[in-house]
Structures are given as structure tokens and as C-alpha cells.
């Protein structure tokens, strides 16, 4: 486990869609562990693998107050989004000093491979939902 360096804008990897993960194995779990260490060192509430130069559809999110509740996701996809929007000021360590207030769905249902490699569907609300959507944008090459 290690804190990794961020890819700096305008690196083209930040605008390139990431490749799907075929299966969750020890190599994927090691990347997630580094991502969690890196996210907590920021500090932040989420991180996509491409932000540290790993071009795979991997993300971690932890919007809990106490930390230690990180959700590990491979190939996350939004199944449903609420009509109700929530505004939140978002930023990225890849663009230091830049932030913007973004309106996103307040709740989303997401399907992903979890840390055990099992397909999971989970509902996220509030800051959790905002962070999940932000990470999925990164994985699709959107900043």
C-alpha cells in the first residue's frame, strides 16, 4: 500500500476512457489499496484509477464521517438516477486550485464488481452519490 502521485492536467490519460476490468484479483485489490491510501492522504471522498495513471475502470469512494468505509468498485455503471438534483462544489487533485459547483442527481443506483469480484447493486445518496458520479465521469474520460 502506498500513496501514489496524481496525473497532472493536461495529460491525455485524463481524457481517455478506461478499460473494463475482466476480474477482481490480487493485483486489482493492490491498486484499490493504493487508491484508498492516496484518497485519504488528499484528503478526498473518492478517486478513480486514471487519476493516478492506471487506465482501468476502478474507483474507490468513502464519504463517511469517520473514514474506513471505502467502497471498492470495478466497472461501475449507473442504473438509475434520481430526478432531484443536489449541488456540491467539486474539485480534482489533477487540477489543483480549480473547483466548480455542479448539480448532479441526489441519488443513484450503481452496478459494479465489488472487492470479492461479485456483481453488486447499491444505492448511493447525497455526497456518496455525488462522489460516485464524479468517479464514473473520470473513468469515462470526462473532467
Residue (of 93, 42, 95) closest to 70 by Cα position: 42
pLDDT value, residue 114: 99
Q: For position 118, what pLDDT does the model report?
A: 98
Counting as low any pLDDT under 50, the low residues of the chain are none
* pTM reported for the whole predicted model: 0.96
- For the chain, list the domains and their CATH numbers: 12-139 (3.90.45.10)
Q: What pLDDT score does 67 carry?
A: 83
Query: Which pLDDT does position 59 carry in this prediction?
Result: 99
Q: Whole-number mean pLDDT of the chain?
A: 97
In whole angstroms, what is the distance from residue 113 CA to residue 131 CA?
17
72-111 pLDDT, tens digit each? 999 999 999 999 999 999 999 999 999 999 999 999 999 9
Q: What are phi and psi of 42, to 5 degrees?
A: -55, -60
Which among 84, 85, 77, 91 is positioned nearest to 122, based on CA atoms? 77
Amino acid at each position: 500500500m502506498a500513496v501514489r502521485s496524481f496525473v497532472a492536467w493536461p495529460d491525455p490519460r485524463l481524457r481517455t476512457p478506461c478499460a473494463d476490468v475482466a476480474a477482481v484479483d490480487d493485483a486489482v485489490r493492490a491498486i484499490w489499496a493504493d487508491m484508498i491510501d492516496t484518497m485519504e492522504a488528499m484528503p478526498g471522498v473518492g478517486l478513480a484509477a486514471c487519476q493516478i495513471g492506471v487506465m482501468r475502470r476502478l474507483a474507490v469512494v468513502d464519504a463517511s464521517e469517520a473514514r474506513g468505509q471505502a467502497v471498492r468498485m470495478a466497472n461501475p455503471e449507473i442504473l438509475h438516477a434520481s430526478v432531484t438534483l443536489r449541488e456540491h462544489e467539486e474539485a480534482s487533485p489533477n487540477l489543483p486550485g480549480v473547483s466548480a459547483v455542479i448539480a448532479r442527481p441526489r441519488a443513484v443506483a450503481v452496478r459494479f464488481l465489488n472487492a470479492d469480484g461479485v456483481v453488486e447493486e447499491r444505492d448511493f445518496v447525497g455526497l456518496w452519490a455525488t462522489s460516485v458520479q464524479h468517479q464514473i465521469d473520470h473513468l469515462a474520460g470526462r473532467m
